[in-house]
A and B are shown apart, each in its own frame.
Chain A
Amino acid sequence: MIRKIKKNHYFLIISLSLLIINLFFIFGLTTFSRIVYVIFFYHVSAAWLSYFSFGVSLVSHILYLKQKKMNWSNLGKNSIIIGVFFVAFTLITGSLWFNATSGAYNNIYWQWSDPRQTTTLILFLSYIAYLIYRNFIEEREKKAKLSAILGIVFFPTVPLSYLSAIIFTSLHPLINPNPGEPGNIYWDTIKMFSLFFNLIAITLLYIYLVRELKELDMAKQTLQELLQTKMEEQK
C-alpha cells in the first residue's frame, strides 16, 4: 500500500512541476496586448479537465450498469467531484474575464445571453444535484445504480456547453492556430504549446486525484465494515 501511494505521488510531483515550469513559458515567452489574457491558459485548462472528468464519469457509469462493479461507480463519482471543482473555477474566471474584457471594468460579470456561460452554469448545477442526490441514498447498490443513471442523464450538458459557443453566437472566442483561417483569435505556436503544456499537467493532476479519492473510498469501506461487525457483535 505504501508503495502504491508513493507511486501516485509521482503524478502529483510531475504535474505541479509542469505547472510551475509553464509559468516561464507563459510569462517569459508569450506576448499579449493585455496581461489579463494570461487567465485564458488556466480558464481553458480547467474547462478541459472538467469536460474530461465528466467524460470519464459517463464511461464509468455505463460500465457500472454493465458489470455492477462498485469501483466503476466510485470512479464516476470521484471524477464528478473533480470536475465540479474545476467547472466552478471556469465559471468564476470566465466572469472575471468578461468583466475585464467587455469594457473598462464596469462590474458586469455575467451575460445570460452568452450560450456557453449559461449552459456551463446548467452543467455545474446538474452535477451538484448529482452529488447531493448520491449523498442522500443510504443503500450502496441503490446509490450506485441511481447515480449511474443520473450521471448518464446529465452528461448531454457537457457537449451542449462545448458546442454552444460554436453553434450559437457567443462572446467566447474561438482559437485558430493557422493564420488567415476563420477563428476569432489567432494563437501562435508558443501560446498553443503553453496551453497544451498546462493541459498535460492538469490531466496528470487528475490521475493523482482520482487515485487518492479511490484510497479514501477504500478507507471508508473498511470503516463501514468494521462498524457493521461491531453492531452485529453487540446484537
Chain B
Amino acid sequence: MSELIQDITTMIISYALFWFVIIILILYPKLSRRKIQKRINKLNQSNK
C-alpha cells in the first residue's frame, strides 16, 4: 500500500474515533437519564 493511502486511512480512523468519542459522551447522559426517568415514573406510579 502506498504511503498516501496509509496516511488517508490513518487520518480517517482518527477522525472517526474523534466523533465516536464525542457521540458516546453526548449519548451517555441522555440515555442514562431516560432510563432513570422511567424508573422514577414507575416508582411514582406505584406510590399512588
Contact = CB atoms under 8 A, between A and B. Distances in A.
Contacts of A195: none
A222 B44 CA distance: 11
B6 to A, nearest CB: 5
In this complex, the interface size class of chain B, counting residues with CB under 8 Å from chain A, is 20 to 34
- The secondary structure that dominates the A interface is helix
Contacts of B33: 215-216, 219
A42 B13 contact: no
Contacts of A97: 10
A14 interface: no
Prevailing SS type, chain B contact patch = helix
Contact of A215 (B4, B25, B29, B47): B29
A39 B36 contact: no
A92 interface: yes
A213 B46 CA distance: 28
B30 A96 contact: no
B25 A39 contact: no
Given A85-B25, A92-B17, A209-B26, A36 B39 contact: no
Contact of B21 (A43, A85, A227): A85
Interface of A: 12, 34-36, 38-39, 42-43, 46, 82, 85-86, 88-89, 92-93, 96-97, 99-100, 104-105, 205, 208-209, 212-213, 215-216, 219-220, 222-223, 226-227, 230
